[in-house]
Amino acid sequence: MKSSLLFFSLCFLCLCISLLPSFSTSTILFQGFVWASSEQEGGWWNHLKPLVGEIAASGAEYVWLPPPSNADVNGSQGYLPKRLYDLDTSKYGNKEELKSLVAAFKQSGVKAVSDIVINHRMPERFDSNGNSIFEGGTPDSRLDWGVAEICRDDPEFHGTGNPDTGIGWGQVPDIDHTSTRVQQELSDWMNWLKTEVGFSGWRFDMVLGYAPKFTKLYIDNTKPEFSVGELFEKVALGNDNKPLANQDAHRGKLVNWVNEVGSGVLTFDFTTKMILGAAVEGELWRLKDGNGKPPGMIGTKPESAVTLVDNHDTGSQKTYPFPEDKIMLGYVYILTHPGHPSIFYHDYFERQSGIKDNIKSLSAIRKRNGITATSSINILAAQADLYMANIANKIIVKIGPNENLGNLLPSNAQVVANGQDYAVWELK
């Protein structure tokens, strides 16, 4: 009897472990849209469907899709959401088109991640007293809120809820996440996105807008396979408008947020993104911190870092964009280093074809050599014109125009990728 109980206990433990996100693997995320995607003729969901195979070929396990719900006319990209259950009047397409797209991705081995915008919400209308009236998009009053669900810090919207637990966001009502009704109904909606549409994970928009404990609550209530939060703040700049050499405080905020949320959550490594963008402009010394490690989040908590070159904010809207002529160097870095790399639709599909092929090649090298989010890294050189690193004793990557490598390259290194100012070797 005892042996049977032990057997079933071990089986249950193994099942629980198998259901947890595997953040030590080489997970790759693909951002499947740009800022202007809502303007696509024929709808974005229909536009993406023929590209599913190409996106799967990038090596991505997850594709991040834009906010799928009905949104305010002044925020057609979905970041001013209104009727959350209404997936038929999104500028990206209707519900059936979205379900078909998500199913196509799943069949190709790629799981869909939905953009979750819950810090703020646009009212459907205002009553005669100027009070905000929200509609969820269902006949049974789910997500039909009023001023009680708005933080009292928003007096222009007559909010009567508790004070905001994060920063405010423009002229849009901030939602009171301390409300048990808000917590329950948002959790129910997210679970509905999983069962009705087929989403497997979440990208939480603007997590600075509410306390980390609420992100934890929504993750605990919905149990996504993949979850990543957007904590976007600019790095500290010097008088020359370049990032300061030491960005420990910036990455420390990312690490602290992840630690507070727990639950296996990830966050975008904006520290690495900002430093890398400056480093490739002839200042590659920036890619090594005072402890001899990468200067971004991947140098302190790589298992929780989603690395990026650009996204719909930084690239499409030119908010700290990566240098145009150095895009490939950015992908060489993130696809060979620890962390979870992400690939941006614009870089993959809307630049010269060579970049797409090179990204595919680098992804294949990463997977072939078992490079993971927590792979070891030994930085061999970090000079103005030369950066070299040994990753997991499996590959060596070089970035920069300097070809004088001295004895940095061992005799068993075989080049497997190269281009303008970069090369990657496998150690045979």
* Distance, CA of 284 to CA of 153 (rounded, Å): 44
Choose the catalytic residue: 61, 164, 176, 230.
Answer: 230
Q: What whole-number distance in Å separates Cα of residue 428 and Cα of residue 426? A: 6
205 counts as catalytic: yes
Cβ atoms 243, 275 nearer than 8 A:
yes
User: What is the three-class DSSP state of 309?
Assistant: coil
Find where tokens 């990557």 sit.
397
Q: Count Cβ neighbours within 10 Å for each residue of 231-268 and write b for 16 or more, e otherwise.
A: bbeebeeeeeebbbeebeebbebbbebbeebebbbbbb
Residue 176 appears among annotated catalytic residues? no
What dihedral angle (degrees, nearest 10) is formed by the CA atoms of 217, 219, 221, 224?
A: 180
User: Are 84 and 191 contacting, i.e. CB atoms less than 8 angstroms apart?
Assistant: no
Q: For residues 328 and 334, what is the distance between their CA atoms, to the nearest angstrom?
A: 10
Angle, nearest 10°, between helix axes 248-261 and 212-222? 40
- How many Cβ atoms are within 10 Å of 423's Cβ, its own excluded? 19
Determine how many CB atoms are found less than 10 A away from the CB of residue 8. 10
Distance CA 345, CA 364 (A): 18
Per annotation, catalytic residue among 205, 310, 347, 421 = 205
CA dist 361 → 87, 92, 115, 357 (Å)? 36, 31, 28, 6
Catalytic residues: 205, 230
